[in-house]
Amino acid sequence: MGLLAQANEDVLLSMLDARRVMNGKTMLRPGLEGGGEKGGGGEQLAKSEGVGESKGNLPEVDTGEGGRMGNGWSIGPSKRGVPLGLVARLATRDDLDSAMREMEPPLLRPDMPRCHAEDLRVPLTFREAKQSEHSVQFMDAAKRERIDNCIKSKLLFDWKVDAFGFPTKAKARLVARGDMQKEYIDFGDLYAPTVASSSVRMLAALACELDLELCHFDIDQAFVRAPLNENIFMRMPEGCGALSGKIVQLNKSLYGLRQASREWYALLKKCLLALGFEQCMADSCLFRFVEGGEVVLLLVVHVDDIFAVGTKERCDQFGKDLGEYVPVKSLGELKWYSGCYYEGDREAGRMTISQQTYTEELGERYGVEWGGGIPLPTTWKLWDFDADEPSVEHPFRALVGSLLWIALLTRPDIANSVRAVARYSGAPKLIHWKAALSFLGYAVRTSSFGISFQRGTVSGFSLITFVYADYASRAADRRSESGGVVMCAGGAIAWFSKTQKCVTLSTTQAEYVAMADMGKEILFLRQVWRFMLPKELRPCIPLYEDNEGAIQIAKHPISNSNSKHIDVRHHFLRQLVDEKEVEIIHVASQYQHADSLTKALPEREVVFHRDYVMNLK
């Protein structure tokens, strides 16, 4: 046994494998399971360790020069060696288990002290733990913590392109496998706010109306700038030089981590507040800088993109000031954001937001080159299909999701059509697939259309709203459809087309519920508007409605058999009217521009409402 004490770990492990082969066991030691370099079962083990296949001979251990066993032992046949099986029989189970623990401590835990825990001293620092009499147990626990909570990573490659689609440089980014993170261990809260699309459009309308610069800034490698609050260990991927395969602890955030967006937003908010900016309570991604009682700079933050509205000097100074905290790159005038192209003509006082490139690429992906003059003809009945018909195997949900993205950002003219077909995403039929392709064909045909804002309009930068309801139009449950649009600087900054959450009993009630839905949108946009222009007067926002009964219920506390059943949650609209926040005005039905957001219309009416809402003149 004294000779065995001098043997190295590889020899002792080989002894254990030899004993298992002699006992006829197929279980391998940890690290040799299934198909690895030495894995694959007893036969593969025999090959890798030098055990004979057919003769049953066991490998021998070279005793080295002078017959003395030492650290230079070699595994394999030797004329002067000692049979390994003999050594394996001489070694006790405790010797072999001890060697296994020293070789791979994360797999086998060390023995615990045989006393009460109250009698043991708990180290306060890593140095104390390493110098403790129980350092073996503490170091094993530390290594186990690093390996058990270790996540993987990989390198992602891509091309960085310019505005015309030509590559400017190759990109390689190290990302973490956030899907391997454990909740409450590797991350806590994950929520990170994103800017409302209506706030971005309102900012563009303000820049157009006041003839201000709309500058674009980008943060270089934004996510890796934020510190981490959790201890996260990560195994480096292949291609990282000497660090490949190593386990490292992250000191800063990294792309792919579940909390990366939240940590970056917290850091950016801290930097902006330190520079003297104020945050909007309605939209937490909107900031302003006040100097001398005047708002001189407005910011919209979207992850690592920042849009600034102000004079050229103010925008340039902001880039320099923020650059002291994080690396900032000025991209000049805003051109591209979230797939939208911003085209400004300051001499003509016009700003247009479109998605022509994205729409045409979507058409090429689905093989659609052209379409009709309107998105949804009045003759199409999407609910008229055979229930026993099998669902289509086409990528219906992917197409509908892309169309919803277009309708949300720049195309209110297809919002109702896409909403109508999206309700069949669970089991789409052939008629629904053809309808979605028809909507895409119309979008491709009119891909150059977009939302336009014009300086010097009659309404200026004030808000104007239209709301309409299509009563009991949903065949399945007879719920009504609500549609509304908010205009500012000649173009739409917000719109919605949705099914009401309750079943209404009359056209009046459906219109009243639609006005309540618009009231929610008005409350948000009114706060954003006041944040941008705090010194402006608070004009009453006009809400155009074509139903006299709904207008009377909103203006007067009427309670009769026709209105007493209306849910109280819709009556907050009366408070907005009483406080002069909203003024409800009757409008003729032919000038109700929210009509196209609730139902299919003839081509002439579709074009009329579309040209007004999108300011296509």
pLDDT, residue 131, reads: 85
pLDDT, residue 509, reads: 87
Q: How many helices (H) and strands (E) does the chain have?
A: 18, 22
Residue 162: pLDDT band with limits 50, 70, 90 = confident
Instruction: Give the residue, 128 or 441, on which the prediction is more confident.
Output: 441
Tens-digit pLDDT profile for residues 286-316: 999 999 889 999 999 999 999 999 999 999 9
- Taking Cα atoms as reference points, which of 297, 151, 273 lies closest to residue 213? 297
- Taking Cα atoms as reference points, which of 355, 356, 318 lies closest to residue 216? 318
Tens-digit pLDDT profile for residues 356-393: 999 999 999 999 988 888 888 888 888 777 777 888 88
Residue 608: pLDDT band with limits 50, 70, 90 = very high
* Angstrom distance (rounded) from CA 533 to CA 447: 34
Q: By the 8 A CB rule, do 259 and 272 touch?
A: no
List of domains in the chain: 2-115 (no CATH), 361-445 (no CATH), 456-613 (3.30.420.10)
> Does residue 426 register a pLDDT over 70?
yes
Q: By the 8 A CB rule, do 370 and 441 touch?
A: yes
Residues 6+ apart with CB under 8 A from 141: none
> Does residue 585 register a pLDDT over 90?
yes
> What's the whole-number mean pLDDT along residues 99-120?
66
pLDDT, residue 108, reads: 72
Helix (H, G, I), strand (E, B) or coil at 33: coil
Residue count of the chain: 617
Q: By the 8 A CB rule, do 523 and 196 touch?
A: no
Tens-digit pLDDT profile for residues 76-96: 444 444 444 444 445 555 555
> Does residue 178 register a pLDDT over 70?
yes
* Angstrom distance (rounded) from CA 612 to CA 615: 5
> Does residue 451 register a pLDDT over 90?
yes
- Residue 161 φ then ψ, to 5°: -115, 160
Q: By the 8 A CB rule, do 123 and 132 touch?
A: yes
Tens-digit pLDDT profile for residues 126-150: 788 888 888 888 887 777 666 667 8
Q: Which of 41-50, 103-112, 391-400 shows the lowest mean pLDDT across its residues?
A: 41-50
Q: Which of 182-191, 219-228, 246-255, 451-460 shows the lowest mean pLDDT across its residues?
A: 182-191
Alpha helices in 104-161 (DSSP H): 126-131, 135-148
9: number of Cβ within 10 Å: 14
Q: What is the CA radius of gyration of the chain?
A: 35
Mean pLDDT of the chain: 80
Residues 6+ apart with CB under 8 A from 127: none
CA distances from 562 to 478, 505, 553, 557 (A): 19, 9, 10, 13
Residue 1: pLDDT band with limits 50, 70, 90 = very low
pLDDT, residue 107, reads: 55
* Angstrom distance (rounded) from CA 380 to CA 287: 46
* Angstrom distance (rounded) from CA 106 to CA 101: 8
* Angstrom distance (rounded) from CA 158 to CA 172: 7
pLDDT, residue 145, reads: 63
The predicted model scores a pTM of 0.73
Q: By the 8 A CB rule, do 492 and 525 touch?
A: no
Residue 561: pLDDT band with limits 50, 70, 90 = low
Residue 171: pLDDT band with limits 50, 70, 90 = confident
* Angstrom distance (rounded) from CA 81 to CA 73: 10
Residue 98: pLDDT band with limits 50, 70, 90 = low
pLDDT, residue 95, reads: 59
Tokens found for residue 350: 């016009």
pLDDT, residue 41, reads: 40
Residue 120: pLDDT band with limits 50, 70, 90 = confident
CA distances from 449 to 202, 207, 430 (A): 18, 20, 29
Helix (H, G, I), strand (E, B) or coil at 76: coil
> Does residue 513 register a pLDDT over 80?
yes
Instruction: Give the residue, 422 or 377, on which the prediction is more confident.
Output: 422
Q: What percent of the chain has pLDDT over 70?
A: 78
Residue 42: pLDDT band with limits 50, 70, 90 = very low
Q: By the 8 A CB rule, do 216 and 334 touch?
A: yes
Q: Which of 109-113, 398-402, 606-610 shows the lowest mean pLDDT across its residues?
A: 109-113
Q: Which of 149-163, 429-443, 484-498 shows the lowest mean pLDDT across its residues?
A: 149-163
Instruction: Give the residue, 462 or 98, on which the prediction is more confident.
Output: 462
Helical pair 356-365 and 396-409, crossing angle rounded to 10 deg: 170
* Angstrom distance (rounded) from CA 260 to CA 263: 5
pLDDT, residue 522, reads: 92
Interstrand relation of 233-235 and 150-151 (parallel, antiparallel or unpaired): parallel
pLDDT, residue 157, reads: 87
> Does residue 413 register a pLDDT over 70?
yes
pLDDT, residue 504, reads: 84
Tens-digit pLDDT profile for residues 214-269: 999 999 889 999 999 888 889 998 888 888 888 888 999 999 999 999 999 999 99
Q: By the 8 A CB rule, do 63 and 51 touch?
A: no
Tokens found for residue 13: 């492990």
* DSSP secondary structure code for residue 174 in this structure: E
> Does residue 282 register a pLDDT over 90?
yes
Core vs surface per residue 318-341: b (16+ CB within 10 A) or e:
bbebbeebbebebeeebeebeebb
pLDDT, residue 184, reads: 82
pLDDT, residue 571, reads: 74
Helix, strand, coil % in the chain, rounded to nearest 5: 35, 20, 40
